Structure 1
């Protein structure tokens, strides 16, 4: 894990890369390194995980200094790849997993990335052809940004590093802004700054030094071809086999490892499997919110830890923590992203980093194996009786939302929660700004494109999760963990597990209308039986309660006192929106949407303030 940065093209004022790396030292405090050649400058700050020696410092270079490579992340199948390269007489200077990228490129060219199983953002400079390649892993677990500025292209692991260039100005991207307002997310390769782009998951961006030209293509696309050879109980055995091999790969480390643990199937499965492999007393970490029972998983998590003879550190997260830390959280985030989980993740990562340098999570299980009620919304259309008889009232609320609400609100027809409707956006915005927004952005652009290339609603849903939703969650996970020099790993998102999940039809994943049927059935007898009776929670944060009570005055005053940063909004209507929510005596599920709306406004204020920009000067 690390931070990478650089510039290709006009190197006048050479040395900006060091400034960019200094801005990201939280990503890699252990070492830094630089490569500068004709037309290219690359920098690297290292978080030492595998091979702690200086030999593993980057950038890696060939003997002629024609090729230079920076790798942020982990290559989990490096041992097999290295064995093949050694047989071809390549000499390795280290035991780092990342060095295989240098020799693999020398042997196979950029197509070598198709062989990689891992989480990574890679920059490869080829001095022979004067080309730079920027690459991200299949799911976009590690971020990589770039910006074409005059006769140069800057690239870095974080936007704040690229913004160190005096040549780069902030200009609001209306498409991203509208998507964030509607879906609390941004799609495709866009960011809030129209000059900054992100390398998409499974994408290669090739940049030629001559004329600084960019060419983009995807080296990986999801393949839904079913595996007819795996049927019946073989599915569950295969799941266990892949889980064990994936976790084993993700446990490779020369530094201490810890585990996030909730009361869910996925994180508990990762902990159980790791315990079986290592036999060690594992360190687990659980965030909790006292006072609201649904949001507190710590009691059940502690029981899981005790069952597996692990230590469990309980991190209580309080409203005052929000006041003390939220601005730091959003600074590390660079820009607003999906969901409200960044704050709670920040608090848990902060504590975990005191004891470990690597953390394993349970991310991906719900998206891969139908863990959300929206999957029932699709599957149940063919068997309404089975759907009704096997669906809890809370699940049915989501089923009804995704099946029927789209007839009243177009925004609800794309398998994503809608935060602000088109009508609400129009009502809240200053007319002048809304006119600019409407003329420059199509909220549904990317969602319509994805729907058109999908062969079924199920395929559309899976693609929505794999290409739009999960990558944003991974950006949050990366920025928050790296704020504390903590490497976060996701064994359930291993290539082998992803390929397996894509090959399984929905009817197997929802057998008996049971959400996440395959992992639950496969792990039955291995996990405590009490976990199977618990509701799905997903580590939510109780902002819907805090924004009405403990944080009522703070959140209201913060938004209204900083109105100059969001002057594209009609603040009298914003104030009325906040007051309606805070003065309501009822606690209803729709309060969650209202809390997200307030969260979005708060995020935008901090974001624009960090850019030192007001709307009038955007």
Structure 2
């Protein structure tokens, strides 16, 4: 009378299974999925609060005629659904719902505007009208009475005040939480490896895997064919040597983008303009030849305060002490100069007094002026900008002071950027390679612990991730602790002007979603980039990803744009 289908892993299923057997439940298998059936019989849908893991599942209770859809607390596993009052359809991929449309599905232009600004479509929206994402930490109940949702988990509010715990107490709690998280994520019947970037997050995971007894396991790193500033391979190799892993390296060049991008977009399903989709996919294919499961470091930056913007945002008060004439002239002068685009973006962010507007400026791929230029309908684009600001205002209530604004940035990224960009990217790209990615930093007891620590302790004296670095100082080599953070950043600017010039030009000539782009501006942006007048690589990447995604969707099933 109870049927379940589950995507993911329940890490504490053995403990739950033993508890249920002691209460008289009889099991037919040793799988974690069967535990869901018996746990539901015992506790109803509230059984979700007992689960430790990453999951998206659907459970049908035939006796009560109730369908339960649930997603894990942090949104590690995706779940899409479409409800039209007569039926509900659901899937772990957006593409799986397209056959349920009686007519051609509509592409939501409003969602694509948000994609351009944020690099992702923030939930519960998707790029297809009528299809929603089930939000992280949420259960959806469908019965003869209709549909209702319940939020079963929220990140806890800060409960430790500065000075209430010693540094040693905090460090001890964090390292114990990390050890427990890694230990439960290592439970597997198949070989496990790790993605190793050479940064603190992944190095700490490898060290803790080693401490937990994993020996001679595989680690995988990626670098790029270009200047040394775009590769971390030497740091990753230091960590691999220190802990005796069987290490594998992948160097990506422009030909790899040209040869894989169409396939990547097909696997993405939901549009995403984060350039890191390419190295994540190619590294996943390499790892899948050796292992079936990898541990990854997603979530550490959002929990411990790892992004540069978290530290720089605290300069806002100093910035506004500058004479107003200089403040007004500086952004315009920088845009016309050859200075790094990130500097221009940073100054533009600090110019905003509103914490929510600053946050959007820090993460956005387009400035307000650029968005107006590239949009076919600037009025519509301006309206979508306001909607994006309203979305983020939720996380910045009572955030006037820099310390409070930092708390808001961490909350916003944990709720939006993490599930809708990073976790979706990792899930889609690893699953496309038949590889399972596990994220120990998002073990919910660890998340609850770290969320309770004041943000002012996470960034101290300009040092980001201060709590994490102190906690793992005895495990991670000093050179790794002290180096600056890097990401999966490809040298797109030089590649677009050189070996990928024809490839990019061809993709930008594709038909895009009607009514979205001003094609003249796209052409002008391309010419500005090729003439080295401005670095437009980030914007050009967004254009071509959206156009390519639209072509993939349109070819599979013609779509109307509204």
| TM value normalised by structure 2 | 0.88
Of residues 379, 382, 406 in structure 1, which corresponds to 2:352?
A: 406
Distance in 2 of aligned mates of 1:122 and 1:160: 17
Q: Which runs of 4+ in 1 moved over 6 A?
A: 381-384, 613-617
**Is the alpha carbon distance of 1:382 and 1:399 closer, same or farther for their aligned partners in structure 2, counting shifts above 3 Å?**
farther
Please state whether the residue corresponding to 2:497 is helix, strand or coil.
Answer: coil
Answer whether contact 2:218 2:246 (CA < 8 A) is retained.
yes
- Give the aligned partner of residue 420 of structure 1: 366
Are residues 1:480 and 2:411 paired? no
- Give the aligned partner of residue 48 of structure 1: none
- Give the aligned partner of residue 335 of structure 2: none
Please state whether the residue corresponding to 1:321 is helix, strand or coil.
Answer: helix
Task: Using the TM superposition, give the Cα deviation of residue 112 of structure 1 relative to its aligned residue in structure 2, in angstroms.
Answer: 0.9
**Is the alpha carbon distance of 1:344 and 1:505 closer, same or farther for their aligned partners in structure 2, counting shifts above 3 Å?**
same
Distance in 2 of aligned mates of 1:567 and 1:331: 23
Are residues 1:216 and 2:164 paired? no
Of residues 32, 39, 42 in structure 2, which corresponds to 1:97?
A: 32
Task: Using the TM superposition, give the Cα deviation of residue 240 of structure 1 relative to its aligned residue in structure 2, in angstroms.
Answer: 1.3
Are residues 1:548 and 2:492 paired? no
Are residues 1:530 and 2:479 paired? yes
- Give the aligned partner of residue 450 of structure 1: 395
Task: Using the TM superposition, give the Cα deviation of residue 399 of structure 1 relative to its aligned residue in structure 2, in angstroms.
Answer: 10
Please state whether the residue corresponding to 1:406 is helix, strand or coil.
Answer: coil
Of residues 533, 548, 552 in structure 2, which corresponds to 1:610?
A: 552
Q: Deviations over 1:472-495 (max 9, x none)?
A: 210111010000111000011111
**Is the alpha carbon distance of 1:77 and 1:383 closer, same or farther for their aligned partners in structure 2, counting shifts above 3 Å?**
farther
Q: Deviations over 1:380-402 (max 9, x none)?
A: 67999xxxxxxxx99x9599547
Structure 2: segments with no counterpart, 5+ residues: 320-338
Distance in 1 of aligned mates of 2:112 and 2:234: 40
Answer whether contact 2:158 2:454 (CA < 8 A) is retained.
no
- Give the aligned partner of residue 7 of structure 1: none
**Is the alpha carbon distance of 1:323 and 1:357 closer, same or farther for their aligned partners in structure 2, counting shifts above 3 Å?**
same
Please state whether the residue corresponding to 2:387 is helix, strand or coil.
Answer: coil
Task: Using the TM superposition, give the Cα deviation of residue 446 of structure 1 relative to its aligned residue in structure 2, in angstroms.
Answer: 1.3
Answer whether contact 2:275 2:541 (CA < 8 A) is retained.
yes
**Is the alpha carbon distance of 1:408 and 1:428 closer, same or farther for their aligned partners in structure 2, counting shifts above 3 Å?**
farther
Distance in 1 of aligned mates of 2:266 and 2:89: 20
Please state whether the residue corresponding to 2:461 is helix, strand or coil.
Answer: helix
Are residues 1:203 and 2:138 paired? yes
Q: Deviations over 1:338-366 (max 9, x none)?
A: 52111110000011111111011011111
Which structure has the higher relative contact order (CA within 8 Å, separation 6+)?
2
Distance in 1 of aligned mates of 2:446 and 2:209: 16
Higher helix fraction: Structure 1 or Structure 2?
A: 2
Task: Using the TM superposition, give the Cα deviation of residue 409 of structure 1 relative to its aligned residue in structure 2, in angstroms.
Answer: 12
- Give the aligned partner of residue 462 of structure 1: 410
Task: Using the TM superposition, give the Cα deviation of residue 260 of structure 1 relative to its aligned residue in structure 2, in angstroms.
Answer: 0.4
**Is the alpha carbon distance of 1:234 and 1:338 closer, same or farther for their aligned partners in structure 2, counting shifts above 3 Å?**
farther
Please state whether the residue corresponding to 1:511 is helix, strand or coil.
Answer: coil
Q: Which segment drifts farther, 191-200 or 86-95?
A: 86-95
Answer whether contact 2:106 2:561 (CA < 8 A) is retained.
no
Aligned length: 534
- Give the aligned partner of residue 569 of structure 1: 517
- Give the aligned partner of residue 306 of structure 2: 371
Distance in 1 of aligned mates of 2:553 and 2:279: 24
Structure 1: segments with no counterpart, 5+ residues: 1-65, 385-392
- Give the aligned partner of residue 334 of structure 2: none
Answer whether contact 1:349 1:484 (CA < 8 A) is retained.
yes
Distance in 1 of aligned mates of 2:160 and 2:356: 35
Task: Using the TM superposition, give the Cα deviation of residue 603 of structure 1 relative to its aligned residue in structure 2, in angstroms.
Answer: 1.3
Question: Within 5 A, what are the aligned runs for 1:215-364?
Answer: 215-227=148-160, 230-337=165-272, 339-364=274-299
**Is the alpha carbon distance of 1:125 and 1:409 closer, same or farther for their aligned partners in structure 2, counting shifts above 3 Å?**
closer
- Give the aligned partner of residue 119 of structure 2: 184
| TM value normalised by structure 1 | 0.81
Answer whether contact 1:144 1:198 (CA < 8 A) is retained.
yes
Answer whether contact 2:71 2:139 (CA < 8 A) is retained.
yes
Distance in 2 of aligned mates of 1:477 and 1:413: 23
Please state whether the residue corresponding to 1:444 is helix, strand or coil.
Answer: helix
Task: Using the TM superposition, give the Cα deviation of residue 252 of structure 1 relative to its aligned residue in structure 2, in angstroms.
Answer: 0.5
Distance in 1 of aligned mates of 2:551 and 2:253: 25
Distance in 2 of aligned mates of 1:503 and 1:410: 22
Answer whether contact 1:379 1:507 (CA < 8 A) is retained.
no
Please state whether the residue corresponding to 2:212 is helix, strand or coil.
Answer: helix
Question: Within 5 A, what are the aligned runs for 1:429-448?
Answer: 429-431=375-377, 434=378, 442-448=387-393
Distance in 1 of aligned mates of 2:344 and 2:525: 24
**Is the alpha carbon distance of 1:89 and 1:227 closer, same or farther for their aligned partners in structure 2, counting shifts above 3 Å?**
farther
Distance in 1 of aligned mates of 2:362 and 2:56: 27
Q: Deviations over 1:135-183 (max 9, x none)?
A: 1111100000001246221100001111123525321223312211222
Of residues 76, 86, 99 in structure 1, which corresponds to 2:21?
A: 86
Answer whether contact 2:273 2:546 (CA < 8 A) is retained.
no
**Is the alpha carbon distance of 1:260 and 1:189 closer, same or farther for their aligned partners in structure 2, counting shifts above 3 Å?**
same
Question: Within 5 A, what are the aligned runs for 1:30-109?
Answer: 66-109=1-44
Task: Using the TM superposition, give the Cα deviation of residue 611 of structure 1 relative to its aligned residue in structure 2, in angstroms.
Answer: 2.0
